[in-house]
Each structure stands twice: as structure tokens, then as C-alpha cells.
């Protein structure tokens, strides 16, 4: 499923779409160059609309959501997953409440309640958190940062100087983070719920962006204000914002501000990583990539797609009781316009050096767990899938 963006003005159009606006109605036909039957479609709207309703040309209701991307209290965009090649009508209202649809995604950011011992019974839910330089909330946050999922996969982002993207694998399709809170108990595991499947440590995890000094990755140590915010909670996609305001990448350099949006839509494995910079980032190199899973095989097409398949413990040695070795497939695709060079694998990572264009960087991360009842069981299967997947997100 591919996402397309359209700006809602007097007349709407974009490559691969045909859209028109008349009063409070927008007509749009999602199209794709791939073979996807469903297309995630984002339409920007003006301020003041309270609700949106999407229907097909024959009157069938299509679930949708309104998102406030910039956090000013009013909706910026309508998002829906429509049928490619079929005309859809968006009806906006300033009076009617938004219809509620069955959730297909979920996100949570939580403080740890010290009065509750169970790791899957925490109850201090928050929407955002900002800390000052030198403050590390890693241990005060349950599962150490924001976690989000759809029915196939789940991710979390560490709230510390690493800002690592970590993953949670599932045995069966379904939303389950609200139940397990990333830490399933023995009873939940016996029922087939998923678990943490990757140990990331100090590595790049799955597509984490860090500074680069020409020799090694640089953690986000010197940041004036570090934030995480749940921008959108569904029902069709979740968006998590990570903001590093006043990041001094190397001592003596001019601070920059980096705002990263992680977007996960229903029915997709991959997460879109969209990064905007403020300040002088145009000539600066950064590094991203994927962890070198123990004894993993590697795949690369030399054009921005890199992947691995391997098996290792998902936790540190001291926490390994109750866990088993986990087999995972990881993948990252970075459009070639951002790629400076692909570095050889080292003991920790499969690194890729990148440079923003116009203070912007966008790439895609994805993974699978061999535990999945519907998924991939070998590196050959996984790599074949990724070659086709890349075509859908270009």
C-alpha cells in the first residue's frame, strides 16, 4: 500500500491522482504505479473542519481519520485507505462529530507507576513528554518510550540519547500492545501473544538515525530539548513525533533541530521515517542502517535497499530467563537521492551514510519475525519480498 499526499486548495491534483474540491466536498481517485489494490491517501485541508466522511462513488463508506499534524488543535489532513482507480468523495463538516471506526492501529506512551509491580498493568498514559538537556527519562517511562502497532507488527522508540527503534514480533495478527504493554506475562505467551524479538543495545537497531563524524555513529548526547509526542492514534494510522531541539551533533558545531515523524498505517509491515531539519544540515552527513544480528546473512541491491536475517537472544544475558532465541528479518530502503555511500558491515551494524536534501530526509523501515503464522521462514523468502516491497514505497 502506497501513501500519496494531495494539497486541498480550490483545485486539487497530483501525479497519479485526479481530485477536485467543491464547497465541503473533495472528489479524488487514488492511483498507484504498483499493483496495490488499496492506497493510503492523505489530503490536506484548511482549518475549521470538525469531521470528515469518505464514501466511494457507489455510496460505500470508507473509514477515515482526521489528523492534527502540527499540534495546533485543529485538523490538518484527512487520511483514508481507498481502492486504487476508484473515485472517492470526502465530505467535510464543521458541525457533525467524527464517526468512530474500528481501530486497526494503536499507540501508547506511559510513565511507570511504581505502585504497580506487573509490567503489563501500567496505567499512567500520557500523550507527549519534553525534557531538558541532561535529563534522561528512559527508566521512568514504561517500555522506555512510545510504542505503536498495527495488526502485523509493533515498534518502540527509546527516549534517551540513543533514540533507537526497537521491534516487537507477533505470532498471530491482531492488536495486543494494550494487553501486553510490550512485556507479555507467561499466561499471555501461552495464549500466543507476541514479545520483544530483538536486542538493540548501542546499535542502530532498525533504521535509527544518528550523527556521523566520518568514522563512527554519534549518539544524540547534546540536545537542548528532547520530545516524543503521539500525533495520531488511528483508527487507520498512527504517527509518532520525535523532536530534538538544539542538537549539537559535534562539539563546537552549530545546533540543529531535527523533527522525525514515524508513520505506521494499517495492513503494512513498514514504518515511514520522515525527517525535517532546521538549521545548517544541508552539508552534514548522518548514519542510519540496521543492526548486524548475530550470524546474520545480508542482502543489498546497491541502490538503497539493505537487509539481514539472523537469530539471537532478544534481551541481555541477565534477562534471558523466560526468553528464547529469536529469528528476525530486517530491512531498510533509503531513496538513492539521500544515500552518500553504503559502509561495510561491522560487528554492530550494516551502516549507510546519508545526507539530507533541502533539510529533508525520508526512508522506510520494515521487519518480520519467524514466529509469524502468516509470515516468512527463510532469508530467501524475506529478501524476495523486500525487492517487491521497495517498488511500492518509492
Does the residue 272 lie in any domain?
yes
Predicted confidence (pLDDT) per residue in 43-78, tens digit: 999 889 999 999 999 999 999 999 999 999 999 999
Q: What is the mean pLDDT of residues 240-252?
A: 97
Regarding whether 306 and 213 lie in a shared domain, the answer is: yes
For residue 13, pLDDT over 50 is answered with no
Please give the tally of structural domains in the chain. Answer: 2
Regarding whether 152 and 75 lie in a shared domain, the answer is: no
Residue 367's pLDDT is 99
Regarding whether 208 and 85 lie in a shared domain, the answer is: no
H helices present in 78-180, as ranges: 177-180
What's 80's domain CATH number? 2.60.40
Regarding whether 16 and 156 lie in a shared domain, the answer is: no
Give the strands of the sheet with 195-196, arranged side by side: 124-126, 105-111, 141-150, 154-157, 165-169, 195-196
Regarding whether 378 and 266 lie in a shared domain, the answer is: yes
Predicted confidence (pLDDT) per residue in 203-227, tens digit: 999 999 999 999 999 999 999 999 9
Regarding whether 69 and 129 lie in a shared domain, the answer is: no
What's 186's domain CATH number? 2.70.98.50
Does the residue 100 lie in any domain?
no
For residue 257, pLDDT over 80 is answered with yes
Indicate the SS3 state at residue 98.
coil
In whole angstroms, what separates CA 154 from the centre of its chain? 9
For residue 317, pLDDT over 90 is answered with no
Q: What is the mean pLDDT of residues 85-114?
A: 97
Regarding whether 350 and 204 lie in a shared domain, the answer is: yes
Does the residue 222 lie in any domain?
yes
Residue 17's pLDDT is 53
Does the residue 227 lie in any domain?
yes
Q: What is the mean pLDDT of residues 292-310?
A: 98
For residue 230, pLDDT over 80 is answered with yes
Regarding whether 163 and 88 lie in a shared domain, the answer is: no
Boundaries of domain holding 69: 2-93
Q: In the listed set 59, 93, 127, which residue is the last one of a domain according to the structure?
A: 93
CA distance 283 to 256: 12
For residue 158, pLDDT over 60 is answered with yes
Task: Tell me what the pLDDT averaged over the chain comes to.
Answer: 93
Does the residue 385 lie in any domain?
yes
C-alpha cell at 367: 521487519
Place of cell 555513529: 217
Regarding whether 179 and 56 lie in a shared domain, the answer is: no
Regarding whether 226 and 84 lie in a shared domain, the answer is: no
Regarding whether 222 and 350 lie in a shared domain, the answer is: yes
CA distance 277 to 294: 34
For residue 151, pLDDT over 70 is answered with yes
Does the residue 99 lie in any domain?
no
For residue 7, pLDDT over 90 is answered with no
Residue 31's pLDDT is 81
C-alpha cell at 268: 503494512
Nearest one of 106, 122, 169, 114 to 366, comparing CA atoms: 169
Q: In the listed set 63, 93, 123, which residue is the last one of a domain according to the structure?
A: 93
Q: In the listed set 64, 93, 122, which residue is the last one of a domain according to the structure?
A: 93
For residue 270, pLDDT over 50 is answered with yes
Predicted confidence (pLDDT) per residue in 162-184, tens digit: 999 999 999 999 999 999 999 99
User: Taking CA 342 as the corner, what is the angle to CA 340 and CA 344, rounded to the nearest 5 degrees?
Assistant: 145
Task: Please report, rounded to a whole number, the percentage of residues in the chain having pLDDT higher than 70.
Answer: 92
CA distance 325 to 311: 6
Provide the pLDDT confidence category of residue 320 given band limits of 50, 70 and 90. Answer: low
Residue 47's pLDDT is 82
Residues 6+ apart with CB under 8 A from 21: 8, 9, 10, 11, 12, 27
Contact 228, 238 (CB under 8 A): no
For residue 9, pLDDT over 90 is answered with no
Regarding whether 89 and 133 lie in a shared domain, the answer is: no
- The least confident of 35-44, 251-260, 328-337 is 35-44
Amino acid at each position: 500500500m502506497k501513501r500519496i499526499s494531495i494539497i486541498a486548495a480550490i483545485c486539487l491534483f497530483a501525479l497519479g491522482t485526479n481530485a477536485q474540491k467543491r464547497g465541503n466536498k473533495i472528489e479524488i481517485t487514488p492511483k498507484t504505479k504498483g499493483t496495490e489494490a488499496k492506497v493510503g491517501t492523505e489530503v490536506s485541508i484548511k482549518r475549521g473542519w470538525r469531521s470528515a466522511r469518505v464514501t466511494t462513488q457507489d455510496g460505500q463508506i470508507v473509514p477515515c481519520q482526521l489528523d492534527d499534524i502540527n499540534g495546533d488543535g485543529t485538523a490538518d489532513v484527512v487520511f483514508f485507505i481507498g481502492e486504487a482507480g476508484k473515485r472517492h468523495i470526502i465530505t467535510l463538516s464543521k458541525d457533525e462529530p467524527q464517526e468512530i471506526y474500528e481501530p486497526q492501529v494503536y499507540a501508547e506512551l506511559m510513565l511507570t507507576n511504581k505502585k504497580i509491580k506487573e509490567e503489563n498493568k501500567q496505567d499512567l498514559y500520557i500523550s507527549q513528554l519534553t525534557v531538558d538537556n541532561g535529563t534522561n527519562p528512559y527508566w521512568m517511562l514504561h517500555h522506555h518510550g512510545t510504542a505503536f502497532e498495527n495488526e502485523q507488527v509493533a515498534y518502540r522508540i527509546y527516549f534517551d540519547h540513543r533514540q533507537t527503534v526497537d521491534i516487537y514480533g507477533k505470532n498471530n495478527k491482531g492488536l495486543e500492545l494494550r494487553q501486553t504493554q510490550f512485556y507479555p506475562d507467561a499466561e499471555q505467551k501461552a495464549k500466543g501473544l507476541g514479545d520483544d524479538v530483538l536486542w538493540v543495545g548501542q546499535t542502530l537497531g532498525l533504521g535509527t538515525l544518528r550523527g556521523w563524524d566520518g568514522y563512527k555513529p554519534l549518539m544524540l548526547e547534546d540536545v537542548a530539548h528532547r520530545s516524543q509526542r503521539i500525533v495520531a492514534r488511528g483508527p487507520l494510522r498512527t504517527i509518532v513525533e520525535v523532536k530534538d531541539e538544539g542538537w549539537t551533533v559535534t562539539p563546537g558545531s552549530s545546533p540543529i533541530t531535527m523533527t522525525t515523524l514515524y508513520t505506521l498505517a494499517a495492513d503494512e509491515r513498514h514504518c515511514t521515517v520522515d525527517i525535517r531539519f532546521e538549521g545548517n544540515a544541508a552539508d552534514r552527513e548522518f548514519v542510519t542502517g540496521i543492526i548486524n544480528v548475530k550470524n546474520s546473512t545480508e542482502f543489498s541491491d546497491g541502490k538503497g535497499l539493505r537487509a539481514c536475517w539472523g537469530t539471537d537472544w532478544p534481551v541481555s544475558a541477565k534477562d534471558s530467563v523466560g526468553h528464547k532465541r529469536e529469528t528476525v528479518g530486517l530491512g531498510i530502503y533509503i531513496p538513492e537521492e539521500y544515500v552518500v555511500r553504503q559502509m561495510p558491515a561491522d560487528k554492530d551494524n550494516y551502516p549507510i551514510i546519508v545526507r539530507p536534501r533541502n533539510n529533508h530526509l525520508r526512508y522506510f523501515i520494515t521487519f518480520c519475525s519467524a514466529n509469524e503464522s502468516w509470515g516468512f521462514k527463510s532469508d530467501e523468502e524475506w529478501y524476495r519480498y523486500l525487492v517487491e516491497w521497495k517498488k511500492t514505497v518509492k
